[in-house]
A and B are shown apart, each in its own frame.
Chain A
Amino acid sequence: MTAAATPASPPATTGGQPGVRLARSRRNAELSLLLLAMVLVAAYAAMVEANVLETVTPDFWVPAAALSAVFLGLHVAIRFLAPFADPALLPAVALLNGLGVGFLRRLDLARATPVERADLAIFAGTGGRQLAWTLASVVLAAGLLLVVRDHRSISRYAYTLGLAGIVLVMIPAVLPSSISEINGAKLWVRVGSFSIQPGEFAKLALLAFFAYYLVRKREVLSLASRRILGVDFPRGRDLGPVVVVWLISLLVLVFEKDLGTSLLYFGMFVVTLYIATERVSWLLIGLVLFFGGAYLAYVLGSTVGGPFANFYLRAEIWLDPFADPYEDGYQLVQGLLALGTGGLFGAGPGGGQPLKLPEVQNDFIFAGIGEEIGLFGLSALLVIYLLIVERGLRAALAVRDSFGKLLAGGLAFTLGLQVFVIVGGISKLIPLTGQTTPFLSAGGSSLMANWLLIALLLRVSDGARRPVTGGGGGVARPAGAPPEQLHGAPTEVIKP
């Protein structure tokens, strides 16, 4: 894990492109890992059926096969569109996505009557819908790879994306609650039975904007003016942008009643700012602002109430969920009980009682899965998430241009932070907030946005690992023309 995060050799310098061996595309490694992941998904489906139905139906493998076809399609697309992309990303994400579909199908089986179970069509139920969304998301991800042949081209639309991001964030806040509120959080746009979470897409758009903006402003922002306790603090007027984003995240907190999204946006911005400027002071300022703001919201919630009451309630539930185990604390208590019941080894896929959990297909899917696969299984899932995040950061390390570094670093960190926020929330590490668990939770918006995020990481990692040949796909050749993107690249890359 750690080895993947910090490549041991050769020591990369700023904007480094590590050794020549990266010229290998490693697509066959990706293919075998992907097949292994799909075998695991099929095995999971078989175990679920054995436990829930007490028999394995002849077509248990159909969802796994459908997923395999979709992911293999993406694999082929990557062979043509991003041949040097990181080979671990697709199999890791495919495994999570496949297990998510398998678990949602498991919920459908548990909900269905024995008669309905007999002909649970492949696209029926939550699991089937998730399968359909996976298909759409993967096609979209391939489309992104097709359209965006070089991640730097995104920076051309930075301001458009920034504006779009802010609009997407704000839509649920300004819409009436009847349309935008689900379970106390105003994060949705509901049209009939169909609902999307624009914030999931806003995340990507805003990050692209941040990356572009910070590359442009990094010199100014990293100028130190005062040195306090050995830390360089920026000038007051340079604080403008960070204060603006802080306010936006607080508005999200107050009007969309969602601490998780707020934490996500703010963390995303502060970390990209830190990566861009290399100033620890930004991290400190960010942490102080965020925790100060959260504490203020807590105090205001307990005294003034109003828009802060929801946050205060969530904090109180977090501090003692068992104080009101049937009403306010119900979700968190049931989540903890599910995890505890799972114990070290879990009840086995299909062996638990996930329907005891509220919101088990959304927020609490990690607890629902945890009851069945236990601490060991959940640890493996966390390791897979960590692998994806660290692979993304590795792409950021390896890519040559600053925009790509910020984009990939920010995307990877955001994914990791989202996992932390939701898994920490359901396990009472931090106050619970309504986040989706990437690639596992039911829901098209989240799945689609996260697949786009992965497509961007694939694109950046392709750019990072591609031999410097002056562009184009295909096999690495000795450099003919001087490469365009030599900014900061060490000269040893062109050594034989």
Chain B
Amino acid sequence: MNAPLRRVGVVVIVLFGLLFANLNWIQAYKADEYRNSDYNGRVQVAEYKRKRGNIEAGGTAFAVSKETSGELTFLRTYPGGAQYAHVLGYKPVNLADTGIEKSENDFLAGTSDQLIANRVKDLFTGDQTAGGNVLLTISKRAQDVAYKQLRDNENGVTKGAAIAIDPRTGAVQALVSMPSFDPNPLASHDTDEATAAYNQLERNPDGPLKNRALGEVLPPGSTFKIVVAAAALENGVTQETQIPAGASYTPPTSGSPIRNAAPSICPESQVTLMNAVTESCNTGFAQLGVRLGADAIKEKARQFGFEQDDLTVGRLGEGGHPVAASRTGSMENADGGDDPAALAQSSIGQRDVRMTPLQGALIAATVANGGSQMRPYLVRQLLGPDRTTDYYTANPRELRRPISGQVATDLREMMVSVVENGTGRNARISGYTVGGKTGTAQSGPNTRDHGWFIGFALDKDGNPVSAVCVLLEEAGSGGSAEAARIGGQIMRAAIADPGSR
């Protein structure tokens, strides 16, 4: 019986050899994969052991990590609450992270390659390694005004957005989406509580999680007339050129006439382009659009930034909040020729034209900035954990140049006329030259119209200091006037506190 016993001994050695080989596979070859697996809660514990850096605006921290006694050491809290929710994004334990918290995660968490020297230093000094700090361009005062004015708007509107940017740099001064939400419960270490809070927000029909300032598009209404006017100015039309207008206009192929918002607006057969913009003359712009053709309008819109689907607002050119593409939609027949009905409606910002509030603000900013459109950004500086080492400072750069300086000057004069003599009077700021354009967009057969305002403010020397876009969804009549009022308030705050850039 000894021969089989010896063979059994060999079999056991073989079995243990298999165990050993398999442990080598798991603990050596696959070790890194398993260690960093998404399912590995240890990674999270390690991540939360490190103090995540702040996200700050104007010297105040709006995302901070607080030490707790739980298994996850640091709790992410948002002292700004709902007011900054759409600016910062959030970083939950068990849900997907968003916004700046997501795009600057590596730097905030301290795991960024940029911070490697810092980590090595901590290894030797024994200091607890912390994450880096992200400083935003936001103007606290403008953000405060934007949030409160939007929330307490006089039309009782529950959904909307406002965004303000510095036309000279593209730095975002204020960014609000309404309704907003408190991100603190989402970051709770009690994952059931966080999930419940998330599900509740997700189910809310008003969509508080949506970033309406950047991620949602709606018909821009008359604000789109600035794009059409720009195309006209480049095609031989001047401010004083008489264009056909009238009480109503019926495009050749369509039975439904286009009318003006009120009978008092451009009932005469011809108005100057200046007056058409100032009064927001629908019949004038519909005919102007048909005359210019779909290609000219679509091309001009594209040059202003329509159709771009990869823009992000965060660090310049490196991630951040995704921006939805604004669209001009189809204005052609099936055979490829212009469809006058579609073209006429599109020229007044209806039909299939869709725009984000950011795009509206960019149009106003471009006009204010002499035709140069600066790339929008939120992150102005990355500071190391020691708060002294500068790892990145935003260097503003031009995104595109949709219009010449002369066209910009002409548009600027017309938009200033809108605020001084026309539909945008609510936006006036004493001591500053304000220009803008209102918009009232039909949203559907049974819903109320959206109110829009895009505008800019120039100081005494004619330098642009702020550009804004305010949207009040389904605001009904007076929506655009209220939007203009809020836009003026935001710009006034941005003038007092221009934020950082």
Residue of B nearest to A340 (CB): B34
Q: Is A1 an interface residue (CB 8 A)?
A: yes
Chain A residues near B27 (CB-CB < 8 A) = 339-340, 342-344, 370, 374-375, 378
A2 & B13 in contact (Cβ 8 Å cutoff): yes
How far, in whole Å, are A370 and B27 apart by their CA atoms in the complex?
Answer: 9
Residue of A nearest to B69 (CB): A114
Residue of A nearest to B39 (CB): A325
Q: Is A382 an interface residue (CB 8 A)?
A: yes
How far, in whole Å, are A276 and B41 apart by their CA atoms in the complex?
Answer: 50
Chain A residues near B26 (CB-CB < 8 A) = 336, 339-340, 427-428
How far, in whole Å, are A423 and B18 apart by their CA atoms in the complex?
Answer: 10
- Taking the closest CB of chain B, its distance from the CB of A427, in whole angstroms, is 5
B28 & A375 in contact (Cβ 8 Å cutoff): yes
How far, in whole Å, are A5 and B9 apart by their CA atoms in the complex?
Answer: 6
B35 & A340 in contact (Cβ 8 Å cutoff): yes
Chain B residues near A271 (CB-CB < 8 A) = 8
Q: Is B387 an interface residue (CB 8 A)?
A: no
Interface string of A387-430 (1 = CB under 8 A from B): 00110010011000010011001001100110110011001110
Q: Is B19 an interface residue (CB 8 A)?
A: yes
Interface string of B17-34 (1 = CB under 8 A from A): 011101110111011111
B37 & A390 in contact (Cβ 8 Å cutoff): no
B1 & A375 in contact (Cβ 8 Å cutoff): no
Chain A residues near B4 (CB-CB < 8 A) = 274-275, 278
Q: Is B12 an interface residue (CB 8 A)?
A: yes
B12 & A390 in contact (Cβ 8 Å cutoff): yes
Q: Is A341 an interface residue (CB 8 A)?
A: yes
Q: Is B6 an interface residue (CB 8 A)?
A: yes
Q: Is B334 an interface residue (CB 8 A)?
A: no
How far, in whole Å, are A340 and B37 apart by their CA atoms in the complex?
Answer: 10
Residue of B nearest to A346 (CB): B27
Chain A stretch 425-440: residues in CB contact (< 8 A) with chain B: 427-429
- Taking the closest CB of chain A, its distance from the CB of B41, in whole angstroms, is 5
A416 & B15 in contact (Cβ 8 Å cutoff): yes
Q: Is B125 an interface residue (CB 8 A)?
A: no
Chain A stretch 13-42: residues in CB contact (< 8 A) with chain B: 13-16
- Taking the closest CB of chain A, its distance from the CB of B170, in whole angstroms, is 43
Q: A12-B2, A278-B3, A344-B31 are in contact. Are A429 and B13 (CB under 8 A)?
A: no
Interface string of A319-356 (1 = CB under 8 A from B): 00010011000000110110111111000000011001
Q: A6-B6, A344-B28, A429-B22 are in contact. Are A278 and B34 (CB under 8 A)?
A: no
Q: A339-B34, A341-B40, A413-B8 are in contact. Are A382 and B20 (CB under 8 A)?
A: yes
Q: Is B196 an interface residue (CB 8 A)?
A: no
- Taking the closest CB of chain A, its distance from the CB of B27, in whole angstroms, is 4
B19 & A429 in contact (Cβ 8 Å cutoff): yes
Q: Is B42 an interface residue (CB 8 A)?
A: yes
Q: Is A385 an interface residue (CB 8 A)?
A: yes
A382 & B19 in contact (Cβ 8 Å cutoff): yes
Q: Is B95 an interface residue (CB 8 A)?
A: no
Interface string of B484-501 (1 = CB under 8 A from A): 000000000000000000
B12 & A336 in contact (Cβ 8 Å cutoff): no
Chain A residues near B8 (CB-CB < 8 A) = 271, 274-275, 393, 409, 413
Q: Is A379 an interface residue (CB 8 A)?
A: yes
Residue of A nearest to B45 (CB): A353
Residue of A nearest to B21 (CB): A429
Chain B residues near A402 (CB-CB < 8 A) = 1
Of A343, A397, A416, the contact of B5 (CB 8 Å cutoff) = A397
Of B3, B5, B30, the contact of A396 (CB 8 Å cutoff) = B5
Of A12, A276, A420, the contact of B15 (CB 8 Å cutoff) = A420
Q: Is B391 an interface residue (CB 8 A)?
A: no
Of A13, A276, A342, A428, the contact of B22 (CB 8 Å cutoff) = A428
Q: A275-B1, A278-B3 are in contact. Are A340 and B12 (CB under 8 A)?
A: no
Interface string of A255-298 (1 = CB under 8 A from B): 00000000000000001001110100000000000000000000
Of A339, A353, A385, the contact of B16 (CB 8 Å cutoff) = A385
Q: Is A386 an interface residue (CB 8 A)?
A: yes
How far, in whole Å, are A278 and B7 apart by their CA atoms in the complex?
Answer: 10
A393 & B12 in contact (Cβ 8 Å cutoff): yes
A423 & B19 in contact (Cβ 8 Å cutoff): yes
B6 & A339 in contact (Cβ 8 Å cutoff): no
Interface string of A134-173 (1 = CB under 8 A from B): 0000000000000000000000000000000000000000
How far, in whole Å, are A218 and B14 apart by their CA atoms in the complex?
Answer: 27
- Taking the closest CB of chain B, its distance from the CB of A444, in whole angstroms, is 26
- Taking the closest CB of chain A, its distance from the CB of B335, in whole angstroms, is 52
How far, in whole Å, are A401 and B6 apart by their CA atoms in the complex?
Answer: 16
Of B5, B12, B18, B32, the contact of A405 (CB 8 Å cutoff) = B5
B16 & A382 in contact (Cβ 8 Å cutoff): yes
How far, in whole Å, are A405 and B9 apart by their CA atoms in the complex?
Answer: 13
A424 & B18 in contact (Cβ 8 Å cutoff): yes
A375 & B34 in contact (Cβ 8 Å cutoff): no
Of B2, B16, B30, B34, the contact of A397 (CB 8 Å cutoff) = B2
- Taking the closest CB of chain B, its distance from the CB of A278, in whole angstroms, is 5
Of B13, B19, B31, B45, the contact of A427 (CB 8 Å cutoff) = B19
A15 & B15 in contact (Cβ 8 Å cutoff): no
How far, in whole Å, are A278 and B27 apart by their CA atoms in the complex?
Answer: 38
Chain A residues near B24 (CB-CB < 8 A) = 375
Chain B residues near A343 (CB-CB < 8 A) = 27-28, 31, 35
Chain B residues near A428 (CB-CB < 8 A) = 22, 26
Chain B residues near A424 (CB-CB < 8 A) = 18-19, 22
Interface centre among B15, B24, B28 (most CB of A within 10 A): B15
Interface string of B384-415 (1 = CB under 8 A from A): 00000000000000000000000000000000
A386 & B13 in contact (Cβ 8 Å cutoff): yes
Chain B residues near A409 (CB-CB < 8 A) = 1, 5, 8
Chain A residues near B37 (CB-CB < 8 A) = 337, 340
Chain A residues near B42 (CB-CB < 8 A) = 337, 341, 352-353, 356
Interface centre among A13, A344, A419, A427 (most CB of B within 10 A): A427
How far, in whole Å, are A406 and B12 apart by their CA atoms in the complex?
Answer: 16
How far, in whole Å, are A416 and B8 apart by their CA atoms in the complex?
Answer: 10
How far, in whole Å, are A182 and B11 apart by their CA atoms in the complex?
Answer: 32
How far, in whole Å, are A340 and B33 apart by their CA atoms in the complex?
Answer: 8
- Taking the closest CB of chain A, its distance from the CB of B305, in whole angstroms, is 42
B6 & A5 in contact (Cβ 8 Å cutoff): yes
Chain B residues near A339 (CB-CB < 8 A) = 23, 26-27, 34
Q: A340-B30, A342-B27 are in contact. Are A390 and B9 (CB under 8 A)?
A: yes
Residue of B nearest to A6 (CB): B6
A379 & B23 in contact (Cβ 8 Å cutoff): yes
Interface centre among A341, A343, A379 (most CB of B within 10 A): A341
Residue of B nearest to A356 (CB): B41
Chain B residues near A423 (CB-CB < 8 A) = 19
A386 & B5 in contact (Cβ 8 Å cutoff): no
Chain B residues near A413 (CB-CB < 8 A) = 8, 11-12
- Taking the closest CB of chain A, its distance from the CB of B25, in whole angstroms, is 8
Chain B residues near A337 (CB-CB < 8 A) = 34-35, 37, 39-40, 42
- Taking the closest CB of chain B, its distance from the CB of A417, in whole angstroms, is 7
A14 & B1 in contact (Cβ 8 Å cutoff): yes
Residue of A nearest to B1 (CB): A405
B12 & A389 in contact (Cβ 8 Å cutoff): yes
How far, in whole Å, are A339 and B35 apart by their CA atoms in the complex?
Answer: 9
Of A353, A396, A419, A427, the contact of B23 (CB 8 Å cutoff) = A427
Which 8 A-B pairs give the minimum distances between C-beta atoms?
A: A340-B34, A375-B27, A5-B9, A416-B12, A343-B31, A337-B40, A429-B22, A420-B15
What would be 14 A-B contacts, judged by CB atoms less than 8 Å apart?
Answer: A5-B10, A6-B6, A13-B2, A322-B39, A337-B40, A340-B27, A340-B32, A341-B34, A344-B28, A389-B12, A390-B12, A424-B19, A424-B22, A427-B26
User: In the complex, given contacts A375-B28, A405-B2, what are 20 additional A-B residue pairs having Cβ atoms less than 8 angstroms apart?
Assistant: A13-B2, A15-B2, A275-B4, A334-B39, A337-B35, A337-B42, A339-B26, A339-B34, A340-B30, A341-B40, A341-B42, A343-B28, A344-B27, A382-B16, A389-B12, A419-B19, A420-B16, A424-B19, A427-B26, A429-B22
